[in-house]
Chains A and B, each alone.
Chain A
């Protein structure tokens, strides 16, 4: 037997062996792409002429890669990567100033298509009833040009626009209904709109606290809204308290409002396994969903620009001075111990899990 044949047979055997192995119940799941099994960080990038970028960090922290979308596709995402939405394997990367949504495979980051028409200052996206819904501020000071664009997911075109109140920010799907927080553009909003995803119409508008931002669905199926309120400053002499508002999704009425203490104005909220994580610019607080007051002390003291929680770990980005690359810190959610610290891109705003 010559050497070549041996190699060939060994390869066949290896293949057969592998095939057999694949039939086992405890088969290893093959990664769906280079960016599976890890964390994606959306960096906003420079406002003036810059582009948003995506960093990848593998779950075992052995692989870190910057600008993954640009590397794979040899093009840029556009100015200010505001957020990313996921629909099955498709990632919708929203460039706010760039007025562009790039659709890419979330695991390979290969570009599928892009949406550039009928966008005007897009912010966040959610999916319901087989459609995508993207919030658009329009001109941040014009109350007449705000809408939620409806994306046909087959064609990836915006097929209709649902006019809404000023400054639609975050959007979350609850069954066939969408909840939109009206942060208020350059001004300040205080409502949450409810949209019927089947009819593309606004069902109702719910008054909440000032500057509602983050949305989450709790274990009882209520929508939680974190409202920043307004800090007391020289240009705003009267403080408006921040609050956590619970919306009963059956009645679409406010079920409960938990006002925060004076000086507490959250910039982030995450709901994870029965706990609510609230962040300010320099602290993270943790409370049970059922709690009726925010805890007096923070679990983590660090600069917070973006926050997310996954599998008992708290992920926090720090935009530093907004001129140099920011960082991602990972903490143990139980012990609050810092586990890792990575340098990521310019103004890292959002953290997602693949």
Chain B
């Protein structure tokens, strides 16, 4: 098989290079080495990103959609609470936001998207939202931006248990358990999660209820690290999610649809420090996703299904040539197999080559260059690049610029769906420019970014001459906009206050029709105020989402707010934290997608124990 041959070749070449590099092995620092993390930090000059902290995740633990819709620029087309949820970032479509799990792009090979309600939010130590194209580093679909889900492996002595248990309206339950046990030699993290809801809320100003909206999901995660010696570390990351949902009704139609999915992501990583400056990371990953869709959830013997299996091998070479110059080269091979009711079994092989350079030219001026060329059996892949420059003018102000060419390859559905699939599709191409301003003062930091994205050959499904829906490379779009984020922190005596706000303005146009793109809110604003005093903490979060065009209809603008209070029983063992949250506190009637109402005011009790 091609994959094996290439992997063997690649491993052999590492060992050869290892022999040559053994001699300058000096002091090695692998302590806090996280490859995927470093890509976002070190090799993203000129890009802005938002790190979602642990407390934000805990607060919106129900799903990744909940975490991000209140804390990032991303608009979610959530098909009803807990239902299939796809992102729109900078006005791009759902398949143009890539999700990167521990460095690996996990967008569906079938539809190119990620369902943000089929990713547990309790499974990751860090969630980072990076604005802007990143196809060079993160592959297909990284056009509007990327969401990074990372697990950290630390070799420091620690043993902890964390239990979260929430209960809320509509019989909504969350229970998760997280355990870490580590020392200077090994690291083990086990996570379990459970979410369930009847989700049968009443629609406001209507006599309908959210029928057929119940969901249940589990996740199971293991992350393990072992330090063989100062130069070698082995890491295993594994994350598995089981979802069982019914798909809720709309204002205009009842539903008895059901959906079950399993996705499992597994990664073996070996970090080998050749010297104090050079690290080679080899990775083997196996990812599979499988879904079953039931047209009638009372008759589960009748369904349509799809599944994909991905085998990935990567050699990732990092060289911190000097403190000022960093180099990263990746050789990757991926073999994907997909099968399902609507298409026969097909395979795709991708060989990818990435070269990145980061250079601190002067104390204040730095730049990064990245190049990528994929080789695929299906079609020709474009040559991709990214260039970012940062100029720090003084302690308080940094100006940045980046430009990149990004792409999205056609999915298995696009190519092979029966009927309609079009094997003659080309990859979507996208060019973008961005200017960023970062201002950081004592208590406040501000980031203002302006972007311009021009995309062509966008894949669109339209009826062909024989009336069958079929994808073609037709659309051309132009998105421009501004993202503004502000963070403010202050403390007076025992009172701690933080305020975060994210505002985005997006103007996205179809260049053929000169019309605004559907499913893009022009203005979007979210904010968070946190207050803490001794054992008490409280928060208020809000979201404003502008009008959204959907075909010939308009989903009206809305503003929704949550408020919560928590108390830490610090005298008790494990310092349990008990809280109460009021969601949609003003009982606002709103929809994220057309005619799928979201719940009115509802409540949640949260408990959190660490021991």
Contact = CB atoms under 8 A, between A and B. Distances in A.
Interface stretch (A13-21, A83-91, A318-326): A318-326
A282 B79 CA distance: 35
Interface string B412-444: 000000111111000000000000000000000
B254 to A, nearest CB: 6
A193 interface: no
Contact of A46 (B302, B423, B551): B551
Interface string A290-316: 000000000000000000000000000
> Which of A49, A78, A319 has the most B CB atoms < 10 Å from its CB?
A49
Nearest to A97: B253
Interface in B500-522: 513, 515, 518
B463 to A, nearest CB: 7
A139 B252 CA distance: 19
B424 to A, nearest CB: 9
Nearest to B462: A321
Interface string B252-293: 111000000000000000000000000000000000000000
A50 B594 contact: yes
B419 A235 contact: yes
A139 B250 contact: no
Contacts of A281: 463, 465-467
A39 B65 CA distance: 46
Contact of A78 (B253, B420, B465): B253
Contacts of A231: 466, 468
Given A97-B253, A235-B418, A46 B553 contact: yes
Contact of B252 (A51, A142, A234, A345): A51
Contacts of A323: 518, 551
A38 interface: no
Contacts of B240: none
Contacts of A319: 463
Contact of A79 (B253, B422, B466): B253
Contacts of B421: 234-235
A267 B464 CA distance: 13
B254 A99 contact: yes
A139 B296 CA distance: 7
Given A79-B252, A142-B295, A281-B463, A46 B594 contact: yes
A49 B304 contact: no
Majority DSSP secondary structure for residues of B touching A: loop
B596 A49 contact: yes
A49 B593 contact: yes
B394 interface: no
B257 to A, nearest CB: 10
Nearest to A121: B295
B251 interface: yes
Contacts of A234: 421-423
A97 B463 CA distance: 20
Interface residues of A, number: 37
B598 to A, nearest CB: 13
A97 B251 CA distance: 12
Given A50-B553, A98-B254, A324-B552, A141 B304 contact: yes
Contact of A267 (B419, B422, B462, B467): B467
A233 interface: yes
A208 interface: no
B595 interface: yes
Contacts of A286: none
A253 B418 CA distance: 34
A42 to B, nearest CB: 15
A267 B594 CA distance: 30
Q: Which residue, A50, A140, A345, has most C-beta atoms of chain B within 10 A?
A: A50
B299 A139 contact: yes
A281 B295 CA distance: 29
B52 to A, nearest CB: 29
B611 interface: no
A141 B299 CA distance: 12
B552 A325 contact: yes
A97 to B, nearest CB: 5
B496 interface: no
Contacts of B296: 138-139, 142, 145
A237 B413 CA distance: 19
A264 to B, nearest CB: 11
Given A79-B252, A99-B253, A46 B304 contact: no
Contact of B551 (A79, A139, A265, A346): A346
Interface string A96-114: 0111000000000000000
B383 interface: no
Given A49-B595, A139-B295, A98 B462 contact: no
A234 B420 CA distance: 9
B550 interface: yes
Given A98-B252, A139-B296, A234-B423, A265 B466 contact: yes
A236 interface: yes
B594 A142 contact: no
B251 A49 contact: yes
A166 to B, nearest CB: 12
A214 B280 CA distance: 66
21 contacts: A46-B551, A46-B553, A49-B251, A50-B551, A50-B553, A50-B594, A51-B595, A78-B252, A79-B250, A79-B253, A98-B254, A138-B296, A141-B295, A142-B296, A142-B302, A233-B468, A281-B465, A281-B466, A281-B467, A322-B463, A345-B552
Given A50-B594, A281-B465, A345-B552, 6 more contacts: A79-B253, A98-B253, A99-B253, A139-B296, A233-B466, A236-B419
